[in-house]
Amino acid sequence: MNIISSRCVKIREVTRVTPFFDSTASTNDNPLPSTALALTYFDTKWFKFPPVQRLFFYRNQTSDTDSIRFNSEILPQLKHSLSLALLHYLPLAGHIMWPELEPKPAVYYFPDQKCDGVSFVVAESSDADFDRVSGDGIREAAEYHPLVPQFSITEDKAEVIAIQITLFPNQGFSIGVSAHHAVLDGKSTTLFIKSWAYLCKQLKLQQQQQQQEQTYLPPELTPCFDRTVVKDPDGIDLIYLKHWMSGSSSNRRSLNVMPVKPENYYSNLVRMTFELNREDINKLRDKVNEVLYSTQGGAQYLSSFVITCAHVFVWLVKARDVEANTTVRFVITTDSKASGFMQENGFAFVAHKLSDLIKGIKRGAVLGSEDEFLNGMAKMREAQQLKISVAGSNRFDVYGSDFGWGRPEKVEVVSIDTTGAISLAETRDGCGGFEIGVVLEKQQMEVFASLFVDALKDL
């Protein structure tokens, strides 16, 4: 088994890709407008969170990924289509900054500044098994770190997004994405990647047909940057910033994010991918409703998301072998004692909890007062608790990101090994199932995998 390490991933090129400008069609040296995009409370809530890191693996279709063809055809198409995509997403080519006289930070893009543009790294993995790293089986968590780009964040300036393309010679390639959580959530990151993929695929088709036409994004991939649609009469955006600033001892306007764990922390962590198909979910739903009918006198509709999260959460708590009085906090957000997970009908208990939580969100119970928010953040820092959160969604259609060389072989959320979250995506076959990414210590993973699979066998 060939493990990926920083020693076997060689950086071949580091450059910046800027929004496309056809100098032959304009006499203006700087035709693109300077852009300032305000952050809303949807953004400032995540102001200090570490970057979200994703990996898209693409398998060799023919001989496309030999080094010569990769460098002469695939890389130029990826770069050019990225520059075209940035025309529609100008803020992503800029930086987060916090001017002294402004009450909150914003994303600024200045076309005449050489530092603006998206960091674009080209690397090559000299000794790695593409099938294994793009598979579902047990893998060391740390070996994915060399495949995602480093992120430039200082006290005064922070990148919005960075890209790394890594070639696995004669096997395939990966696209690593690091995105600032205060600008790009899972949905908006996926929208950008799919826009880039769409333009790349169109560019490839035009080159094959020897055509040269301007390509437009379809409406469903066209972003909206109108901040006036986000109403915030109570100033929740500044409340979130106030919380983050209170933890800064010197420069209260520092853009530095929370520190990530040292590399040796990951040495005992492993990653696995699990699936629940539509039949599994229906059987699990029937099981929960059977319990609810007997204990509460009636069944209820439980979404596939609730069923999937409940099935995963209950086995995560048991695999981690926490004390029964430990508080288990769902970072979506609700909490309960671990003893509820450990009872015979723990799966039904968690499903009911999650369902009630989501109903509350649908009714609009999202923001709350400043005191409620600060109290909630204080609880998150309490000791003797287990935090469980979710990264991604089955509604993002991440496997629809086809750059012209087919659908991704695998999509991973690398950063869950730092946050402790699980990742969710639709299954690659598009048949209504869930793909779940989990990172645990090796012994815990063995327990979790056994519980996850055995529970499905007993349905």
Beta strand pairing call for 327-330 and 385-388 = parallel
Confidence of residue 283 (pLDDT cuts 50, 70, 90): very high
Alpha-carbon distance of 10 to 327, in angstroms, equals 44
Strand boundaries in 30-135, DSSP class E: 35-38, 52-59, 95-97, 106-109, 118-125
Q: Which residue has the tokens 């002469």?
A: 72
Report the pLDDT value the prediction gives residue 362, as an integer from 0 to 100. Answer: 47
Alpha-carbon distance of 205 to 228, in angstroms, equals 38
Q: Measure Cα distances from 234 to 34, 179, 436 in Å.
A: 29, 28, 37
Range list of H helices, 250-332? 278-296, 304-320
Alpha-carbon distance of 220 to 417, in angstroms, equals 32
Report the pLDDT value the prediction gives residue 349, as an integer from 0 to 100. Answer: 62
Asked about 181 being catalytic, the answer comes back as: yes
Both tokens assigned to 234:
């109570």
Q: Which residue has the tokens 């010679």?
A: 169
When comparing pLDDT for 260 and 17, which is higher? 17
Confidence of residue 346 (pLDDT cuts 50, 70, 90): low
Asked whether the domain spanning 266-457 has the same topology as the one spanning 9-260, the reply is: yes
Q: For the domain bounded by 9-260, which CATH number is listed? A: 3.30.559.10
Both tokens assigned to 96:
């987060």
Confidence of residue 436 (pLDDT cuts 50, 70, 90): very high
Q: Which residues share a beta bridge with 52?
A: 179
Q: Which of 150-159, 354-363, 384-393 has the highest mean pLDDT?
A: 150-159
When comparing pLDDT for 141 and 252, which is higher? 141
Residue 347 phi, psi dihedral angles, 5° rounding = -60, -45
Q: Catalytic: which of 180, 181, 243, 311?
A: 181
Q: Which residues share a beta bridge with 14?
A: 121
Both tokens assigned to 319:
């695999």
Residue 439 pLDDT > 50: yes
Both tokens assigned to 451:
């519980």
- Express each pLDDT in 25-54 by its tens digit: 444 555 677 889 999 999 999 999 999 999
Both tokens assigned to 358:
């989501």
Shortest CA distance to 399 belongs to which of 154, 104, 190, 144? 190
Task: Kindly list the domain boundaries of the chain, sorted by start residue.
Answer: 9-260, 266-457
- Express each pLDDT in 293-328 by its tens digit: 787 766 677 889 889 988 998 899 899 988 878 877
Total length of the chain: 459
Q: Which of 173-177, 270-274, 376-380, 436-440 shows the lowest mean pLDDT across its residues? A: 376-380
The yes or no reply on domain 266-457 and CATH 3.90.650.10 is no
Residue 333 pLDDT > 50: no
Shortest CA distance to 436 belongs to which of 422, 421, 418? 422
Alpha-carbon distance of 329 to 336, in angstroms, equals 7
